[in-house]
Structure 1
Amino acid sequence: MSKYFYCLLSVMLVFSCTSKKEILYLQDADQYSNKEISYVKSTIQPNDVLRINVSALIPETAIPYNKITTGTGGASVELMQLDGYLVSENLTIKFPVLGVLSVAEMTTQQFSEFLKHKLEDGGHLINPSVDVRLINAKVTILGQVGQPGTYSFTEQNITLLQALGYAGDLTINGKREDVKIIRLENGVQQVAHIDLTSADWLNGPFSFIKPNDTIIVDPNNPKVKSAGFIGNVGTVISVVSILLTTVVLITK
């Protein structure tokens, strides 16, 4: 009977084991220490919500160029749109006094400079200060993570690892060698494949997350193999017990 037991044990190990090499992050990280960081500058995209604040030496002169805030203080996109400027599919916004303005191929900082010069050159304000912020930045994380979902962030830059941290990290069943990032920017869709067990992506274009990115973590090979066969430890014990009992009865 012992040979049957060892056969069953071998099957269990094949379907349930994950090697150390498949789990550890950034296994060659020491090679990338002291590297200069290149921060990502995201261009403004359709459906972005911008908060634009215009100020001047004489505050009253800037009032016509600011939206009257509603004071809702809400965090949902619908409420933020009341105080912000929703970017259209044509990459335009409707700005007080100045009318329709294009934000195409501009970052928030570039549009801030553009608007400042437009107000000055048009004789609207003298030496104005313009602050532009994206207020609905979000990333969607799906698959084998602790808490899949869509997460908002207010920082100008967050890393891929920070984003995964929002979702509670990858589960033990997450495929770390091939994390997919789907990015839609300037009407072009990109799909990147990131190997988290290596550090060679740290200086690449996907080391920082851009607003509206989607991160997908597929199940690893042991999880795929066990799907519909051996789902968890309890199931394993039950299956082995039944098989051993059957073997004992047959061999009596």
Structure 2
Amino acid sequence: MSTILVTGGTGNLGALVVGMLREQGHEVRALSRSSAEFPVDLRDGSGLDAALAGAQVVVHCASSPRGGDDVAARHLIDAARRAGTVTNLVYISIVGVDVVPLGYYRTKLRVERMLEDSGLGVTILRTTQFHDLVARVTGVAARLPLPVVPLPKGVRVQPVAVEEVADRLAELAVPEAAGRVPDVGGPEARPLEEWAGVWLAATGSRRRVLGVPLAGRAYAACRRGGILAAPGRAVGRITFDDYVERRGRVRGTGRA
């Protein structure tokens, strides 16, 4: 069994990856700034050398839409080189980072290229958006003091279950690097307005969703399908309806 390090190991995705790998019998180091055993701050690289000592595989799940992913990746790459034992650095990226000119996407693409140029063994997996992103975006729009819920018009979204992505990352967390692997997309693509309507109905809201056309190259790229997986890569099985139903059951038990 391998010694595997997971950045963002207490996050939505990372915690699932950690649990799956530990069930398989691996020694797993879940990194975070608050970890008692392996306190690591990717913003300045502190703690990385100790955390990486003897590790063969790194699964890099830590990410922040607020920026800094490229800085964190540079610290991680440099520390992995110093460790000299890492044979596979697995990175989770997003479908469309090479065609949608959003700042966050551009940074994710920059990290991909940094890894590919690092001289380390790397594995890069791109996936479509998680189900909970649709819920969060809808929730934010629903808090606006408007009689409708405004969302970008005509943007098709292909949400995938976070647990299915975690399962794929756990499969890839082996000593042999695989390079860029096939993308993972959710089982169904629909306009965001439709997904939002499903979520609002499930949460008891009767507000109407209003599709709003936007300006800009990023919106145009999304309208062209830039955030959708290629045909044949809709390999997820858990649907958004499944996600909504499960969240409803959890809320009913008082755990959400």
Normalised by the length of structure 2, the TM-score is: 0.24
Higher strand share: 1
TM-score (norm 1): 0.24
Q: Which has the higher contact order (CA 8 A, sep 6+)?
A: 1
Work out which of the two has the higher radius of gyration on C-alpha atoms and give 1 or 2.
1
